[in-house]
A and B are shown apart, each in its own frame.
Chain A
Amino acid sequence: MKKLLVALATTAAVLGVVSAASAQEKAKVCFVYVGSKTDGGWTQAHDIGRQQVEKELGDKVETQFLENVPEGPDAERAIERLARSGCGLIFTTSFGFMDATIKIAQKFPDVKFEHATGYKTAPNVATYNSRFYEGRYIQGQIAAKMSQKGLAGYIASFPIPEVVMGINSFVIGARSVNPDFKIKVVWANTWFDPGKEADAAKALIDQGVDILTQHTDTTAPMQVAAERGIKAFGQASDMIAAGPQTQLTAIVDTWGAYYVKRTQAFLDGKWESTSSWDGLKDGILTMAPYTNMPDDVKAMAEATEAKIKSGELKPFTGPLNKQDGSPWLKEGETADDGTLLGMNFYVEGVDDKLPQ
């Protein structure tokens, strides 16, 4: 039993709190991660943001993080532990931490909280999100140019608005180039399972898609695409290492600027509860270099990116039909943020039944 305790203690130390610095007088900014900080995707992108805070404001703040925190009741304990240990500003970086964040925020009115991708706020809880769908629109356009068959495969995680929004934006982008473009969707029902993601990629390729995109966290689909000799898009981080001849571009999450801005506001005593939803123009997401494509496709992608940044182009602009062909947006009409954040239907061109 004693040995068992030693084993458990070792594990706890491996998984436990890692303190980056220990000066007492500095303000403490803390992060809660759902995955491992080296996952190569979502959580790693947040950790790079944290490191930027250390680098730019390291003389005034110290940072601390908890990784591999499961969504659900455990999250409450983790957040409360950080709040008790003197964190002044806490970023909770997964959708599933929403209710836990709100609950602990009520207990600690003097601590400021920031919750990623959620929709519940409080006087001391702000939310922040990124318009990933802007990048997906560009990917859709590239896919339509690069696909010989006019058919792309999409590996999706869970049918939440965030993911549905991405699928729709990809299709709208593709159809702006090729009105007959179609996509096949496979739901992996997981964010993270390299084997299953690879299986999904193989299934899609076996059924004839010649472009692959994913909304799951590992580079396994990129690897399969490389092996089968088709092109693919990366997700959350630049995945070019997994497919040097395969990746067309990737949506790269760059939270650092936001984290620095909010930490600065906190230090200045000017922190307020806000709901921020920034996009390409704010630099909260960037596109990995456009590679493995002809110059004219690259030029088109760059032009689209510039138009989205200037506000001239908004992906969800009519005329657009829903999947069954019924009209959704009229000519020139743009979907509002509320509709996007609650999106639970497909647009025309998706060859899949949306799981409800």
Chain B
Amino acid sequence: MGIVEAILLSVITAATPLVLAAAGELVAERSGVLNLGVEGMMIMGAVSAFAATQITGSPYIGVLAGIGAGVLFALLFGFLTLTLVANQVATGLALTLLGLGVSGMLGEGFLGMQGIKLQPITIPLLSQVPFLGPLLFRQDAIFYLSIAVVAGIHWFLFRSRAGLKLRAVGDSHASAHALGVDVVRTRYLAVLFGGACAGLAGAQLSLVYTPQWVENMSAGRGWIALALVVFASWRPWRVVAGGYLFGAVSISQLHAQAFGIGIPSQFLSSLPYLATIIVLILISHNRRMTLINTPASLGKPFVPDR
């Protein structure tokens, strides 16, 4: 295996959780809900996936448990912000704090246990393609899912009637409501989908990236995912571009250090952030397009008049 392939393999592993969590959050934000609890849902996904895998011996049940935990936490968020109309920013922050605390408590019995890795699935024929085959078609199920999820979101948002309604809810909940769209129900579904993606991203951390459980193991990836959504100006494929760019620069800078390139490591460590910001600014330089893509009702509470 060449060094380029080795680097790309590490990049895929590092980028997948970011892409997944950001894609889920993108759907929630497109419906007008800002959920800052991504980190909390992610860490709950990580601990639940690890625990379920240890108990049942099957990482696939672990994946389901991770998704379930993310959905459950998202449901709590939905109840507080959509039904009780609590402040979204404060509730999201609380969700992150709660997730970090609760996951630490739940995970205490699983510390130091030997993890079970989600094994790659080799796709026949495609995996024989030189260079790309081993990279893209000998991956774990969560990687395949991450690409399918983004493609699905793109189709849903821009090609389906339900997606159009969801965007309408995010742009002007009052107008959508007047047209007979159930704003609260749409937002609930979007938030739950976001939770499922964040939970799946968490499962990737504890089953693929580093198959183990340690408290706080998401280490801020939920926040990076949140930033990616904004920088990608709420476009699904740009989330992939941003996530992979971030991953690519993160991994390359480690290689540059190991190679002994002689650039201060603090600067190299900040490169992923810099590069992502610069590139995403460049691709979204068209201010009008950016405004069109920004959900106008983002973060605003909706109380239906009865």
Contact = CB atoms under 8 A, between A and B. Distances in A.
Interface of A: 1, 3-4, 7-8, 10-11, 14-15, 36, 38-40, 153, 159, 184-187, 189-190, 192-200, 202-204, 206-207, 209, 218-220, 223, 241-242, 351-353, 355-356
A199 B254 contact: yes
B258 A14 contact: no
Interface stretch (B121-129, B136-144, B210-218): B210-218
29 contacts: A1-B86, A1-B87, A3-B86, A4-B90, A11-B100, A14-B104, A38-B111, A184-B260, A185-B257, A186-B257, A189-B266, A192-B219, A193-B219, A194-B209, A195-B14, A195-B209, A195-B221, A198-B210, A200-B254, A206-B3, A206-B7, A206-B255, A218-B214, A219-B214, A223-B115, A223-B210, A223-B211, A355-B264, A355-B265
B94 interface: yes
A260 to B, nearest CB: 25
Contact of B14 (A192, A199, A206): A199
A331 to B, nearest CB: 30
For the residues of B in contact with A, the DSSP-based class is: helix
Contacts of A195: 14, 205, 209-210, 217, 219, 221
Contact of B210 (A3, A194, A204): A194
Most buried by B among A8, A203, A223, A241: A203
Which 6 residue pairs across A and B have the least CB separation, nearest first?
A: A14-B101, A187-B265, A203-B254, A206-B6, A193-B219, A194-B210
Contacts of B260: 184, 351-353
Contacts of B102: 14
A262 to B, nearest CB: 28
Contacts of A1: 86-87
A208 to B, nearest CB: 9
Contacts of A223: 115, 210-212
A194 B202 CA distance: 13
B94 A8 contact: yes
Contacts of B114: 241-242
B10 interface: yes
A8 B100 CA distance: 12
Interface residues of B, number: 52
B112 A14 contact: no
A3 B80 contact: yes
A195 B95 CA distance: 23
Contacts of A200: 254
A187 B257 contact: yes
Contact of B10 (A189, A193, A203, A219): A203
Contacts of B14: 195, 199
Contacts of A153: 258
Contacts of A10: 98, 101
Nearest to A227: B117
Nearest to A220: B210
Contacts of B105: 14
Given A4-B87, A218-B217, 18 more contacts: A4-B91, A10-B98, A11-B94, A11-B98, A14-B104, A36-B215, A38-B108, A185-B258, A189-B266, A193-B220, A194-B219, A199-B251, A199-B254, A206-B6, A206-B255, A207-B255, A223-B211, A241-B113
A189 B101 CA distance: 25
B258 A189 contact: no
A22 B3 CA distance: 59
Interface string B247-287: 00011001101111011111001000000000000000000
Given A14-B101, A206-B6, A206-B7, A4 B80 contact: yes
B97 interface: yes
B84 interface: yes
A3 B262 CA distance: 52
